[in-house]
Structure 1
Amino acid sequence: MSEAIDTFWSAAGRALHAGRLAKLTLSKPRRKDPATPRNLYARPVELKGETVLQVTHRYADREEAKNYAPEAGLAYLTDQLATTYYNGDLFTLDEQLSLLQSRKGNARLRGEPARHETPVLAHNRQKYRDIPADRPYLHALGITTADGQVTAAGRRKYKQINKFVEIVDNLVHHHPLPAGAHLVDMGSGSGYLTFVLYDHLTNTLGLEVNVTGVELRPALVEKGRQIAAENGFDRLNFVEGYIDSYHPDRLDVLIALHACDTATDDALFRGITAGAEIMIVAPCCQKQVRRDMEVPDDLRPLLDSGIMLERQAAMLTDGLRALYLQGRGYATRIFEFIPLEHTAKNVMITAVKSEGQAGGGARVQWEALKQRFGVKRHYLEELLKG
């Protein structure tokens, strides 16, 4: 074992036994094999009063978690790094160590200061609870009455914002944010989601984050600033601007809900180029691919009607977006954000940076889809090509 590898595992052992291990990941498989997980994600959890090391095996289509006694878990990971993976990343409460191995067997260790939240050891963490309706900013936004009751007109909005925060809560639980993380809500509008996101992360989870709402309309920007000041939300700000004109020094989480047509692509491109850890978008009005799309002859009986063709174009647009994200190292999900009776714009795409996410297979898949439907161009792909 080289000195770099020995130092890496010694640090991992000390962190685990001292209760300072946040997470440990192994990535970059040595061989392309569907039977080999893309990466391993390990974290300490508490089961029946005992701390164990839970190792999640992340495959292309599923995840499998196994629990080990601390020493046995480290031994298993040590063996996996020696035989199956090239890279390892260790995250403690105050440090990040990255072990990089070459195919020739050379290993180098890179360390940098980092701050991570104390790991949540509970195997079954407490269920997410709705944002309390008595929050003063909800009344200022017109969702509740002065005495903290959700209005009839605000019920749908209240349900949507709580579902959104539940999704974010789950994402940051599995992919912890560094201290001082910057979250940007592109096209924040009236700021409903921006406010509840800041409130939950800061006041409920106790995280040290900065949140910015970016909005074109000056009146909404000023209103957001005023409500933030009235509620003492010091790390919440609103700025006037558009997706492609806002260039923060740091961007850890990008949010863009209901950005119309290629504005969703502008947002995703901004997140990719900024190296965002998490991206959450809810696309709408997917027109660009529809104009370029050709219906295969064998699908004409299915897509002959306008509404079916429109839905197929939207699915193709978002499916290609997910593949482009995978090609850039993100693990993606596409799912229903909120039931159709609340909003017709209910598809959400989440993307989380993943050390073991490989892009080769995604490229083959997006090229096949483009050829199948005669798509010559996709705006996000053009942006990524520069």
Structure 2
Amino acid sequence: MEAIETFLDHLSQALTSQQLSKLTLSKNRSAQSDLKNVYARLVLIKEEPHLSCTLRFATRDETKNFHLTQATAAINKWLTEDFRQAELFTVSEQTSLMISKKGKGLLRSRAIATREPVSLKHNQQKQRPLTERPRPYLTSLGIAGQDGQILQNGRRKFRQINKYIELISHLLREQPLSKGARIVDMGSGKGYLTFGLYDYLVNETQLPIKMTGVELRPDLVKICNTIAEQNKFQGLEFIAGDIHQYQPDGGIDMLIALHACDTATDEAIAKGIRAQAELIIVAPCCHKQVRKAMQPPVTLQPMLQHGILLERQAEMLTDAIRSLLLEANGYKTKVFEFIGTEHTPKNVMITAIKSQPRPEALEEIKDLKSQFGIERHHLEDLLVKMTN
């Protein structure tokens, strides 16, 4: 079809000159198709320009990247098989393609107000809370080399640290910490996230804090304390202890517990509630206690007869009750995916900000427990002990 060929010529020129602002494909030829739209833009991948296409389906999005030598052919295939409308924007022109149900094409172009040239560098780089300048603790942790540059095999961990800090910085905009705030990180492990958060708060935002990492393994505690001393992180210390037994020396303004196993997450939440912490952040790990006690309703038996689905239901139920118990005790909560499953399958995070109690949450917990035949939840037991 001549109109499609002319449109593809416009696209090819825009790609070659790197003047493409955006491209959209719409009006699917088949009403039964699950593919609704395609949105495309220029990006850099390994220093090479590509056309990045987001395929929007009814219930999900997918991204496909095409080298410029393949991009025009991919768009041609979608236009001839899937879509009847396309809009192409360059820095100075808009080109529209309409294809009738009989296959007749109509092409229109018009000049538009000149836009800024497309910056592929902007598409490639993302501003992170921790910039890639020498940070000696990252060298000690094996994330950076002796020259301070992030190692190739440390980039994924460095991205994870920045993602974690971004998440917490958003929470702090809603609930700022005061100077001298006490942060307790229960189950701090090797300290990657603990060091990163301390560095960001003290050195990037100039917020003096007192931070304690609680870790069961004494060898890791010794290593982390040595790194803290070498970096003159005077407000950061690590202590050896178990979450169940740990008693904070003073108050807690922010409590963090990432990947604490099973009821250790409940212990951490309870300590945060008891201390009236302004912020509670947990990423639960195992969910054994509720799963063992679950007696799903008959209507769900066909679905939950499979072990993996039963486990996921137990995880959702456990974390839902945790969230509701926090709300009943005066917190506003969010439950979401922390990091992708390529890092860890245990990727749910619960954040809680001090707010007003929501008493009706207790009735909602009661209904959930009744529906799944659960008599108790460990966090509920801990909170009952607190009031006695």
Question: What TM-score comes out, normalization by structure 2 length?
Answer: 0.65
Q: Deviations over 1:219-238 (max 9, x none)?
A: 11111111011111111111
Q: Aligned partners of 1:358, 1:184: CA distance in 2, in Å?
A: 23
The AA in structure 1 aligned to 2:211 is V
Once the 2 structures are TM-superposed, how far is the Cα of residue 305 of structure 1 from its aligned partner?
A: 0.7
Q: Which residue of 1 aligns with 2:380?
A: 381
1:26-105 correspondence runs (5 A): none
Q: Deviations over 1:8-48 (max 9, x none)?
A: xxxxxxxxxxxxxxxxxxxxxxxxxxxxxxxxxxxxxxxxx
Once the 2 structures are TM-superposed, how far is the Cα of residue 246 of structure 1 from its aligned partner?
A: 2.3
Q: Is the counterpart of residue 242 in structure 1 residue 212 in structure 2? A: no
Once the 2 structures are TM-superposed, how far is the Cα of residue 342 of structure 1 from its aligned partner?
A: 1.8
Q: Is the CA contact (8 Å cut-off) linking 1:131 and 1:162 kept in structure 2? A: no
- SS of the aligned residue for 1:156 comes to helix
Q: Aligned partners of 1:305, 1:152: CA distance in 2, in Å?
A: 40
1:1-386 correspondence runs (5 A): 129-132=129-132, 134-247=134-247, 248-354=249-355, 357-386=356-385
Q: Which residue of 1 aligns with 2:85?
A: none
Q: Aligned partners of 2:220, 2:169: CA distance in 1, in Å?
A: 26
The AA in structure 2 aligned to 1:358 is P
* CA shift in 2, pair 1:127/1:244, >3 Å: same
Q: Aligned partners of 1:254, 1:131: CA distance in 2, in Å?
A: 26
- SS of the aligned residue for 1:352 comes to strand
* CA shift in 2, pair 1:131/1:268, >3 Å: farther
Once the 2 structures are TM-superposed, how far is the Cα of residue 295 of structure 1 from its aligned partner?
A: 1.3
* CA shift in 2, pair 1:277/1:335, >3 Å: same
The AA in structure 2 aligned to 1:284 is C
The AA in structure 2 aligned to 1:180 is G
Q: Is the CA contact (8 Å cut-off) linking 2:261 and 2:285 kept in structure 1? A: yes
Q: Which residue of 2 aligns with 1:114?
A: none
Q: Which residue of 2 aligns with 1:79?
A: none
Once the 2 structures are TM-superposed, how far is the Cα of residue 314 of structure 1 from its aligned partner?
A: 0.3
- SS of the aligned residue for 2:367 comes to helix
Q: Is the CA contact (8 Å cut-off) linking 1:131 and 1:200 kept in structure 2? A: no
Q: Aligned partners of 2:142, 2:238: CA distance in 1, in Å?
A: 18
The AA in structure 1 aligned to 2:163 is K
Question: What TM-score comes out, normalization by structure 1 length?
Answer: 0.65
* CA shift in 2, pair 1:131/1:353, >3 Å: farther
- SS of the aligned residue for 1:153 comes to helix
Q: Aligned partners of 2:128, 2:173: CA distance in 1, in Å?
A: 11
* CA shift in 2, pair 1:133/1:282, >3 Å: farther
Q: Aligned partners of 2:306, 2:130: CA distance in 1, in Å?
A: 41
Q: Deviations over 1:279-334 (max 9, x none)?
A: 11000111100000011111112222110110000000000000000000000000
Q: Which has the higher contact order (CA 8 A, sep 6+)?
A: 1
Q: Deviations over 1:206-225 (max 9, x none)?
A: 11211111111111111111
Q: Which residue of 1 aligns with 2:23?
A: none
Q: Is the CA contact (8 Å cut-off) linking 1:143 and 1:150 kept in structure 2? A: yes
Q: Which runs of 5+ in 1 are unaligned?
A: 1-125
Once the 2 structures are TM-superposed, how far is the Cα of residue 151 of structure 1 from its aligned partner?
A: 2.7
The AA in structure 2 aligned to 1:342 is H
Q: Which moved more, 1:259-268 or 1:132-141?
A: 132-141
Once the 2 structures are TM-superposed, how far is the Cα of residue 127 of structure 1 from its aligned partner?
A: 7.0
Q: Deviations over 1:173-228 (max 9, x none)?
A: 21111221000000111111110110000001111211111111111111111101
Q: Is the CA contact (8 Å cut-off) linking 1:131 and 1:196 kept in structure 2? A: no
- SS of the aligned residue for 1:154 comes to helix
Once the 2 structures are TM-superposed, how far is the Cα of residue 166 of structure 1 from its aligned partner?
A: 0.8
Q: Which runs of 5+ in 2 are unaligned?
A: 1-125
Q: Aligned partners of 1:218, 1:194: CA distance in 2, in Å?
A: 16
Q: Is the CA contact (8 Å cut-off) linking 2:129 and 2:165 kept in structure 1? A: no
Q: Aligned partners of 1:262, 1:131: CA distance in 2, in Å?
A: 36
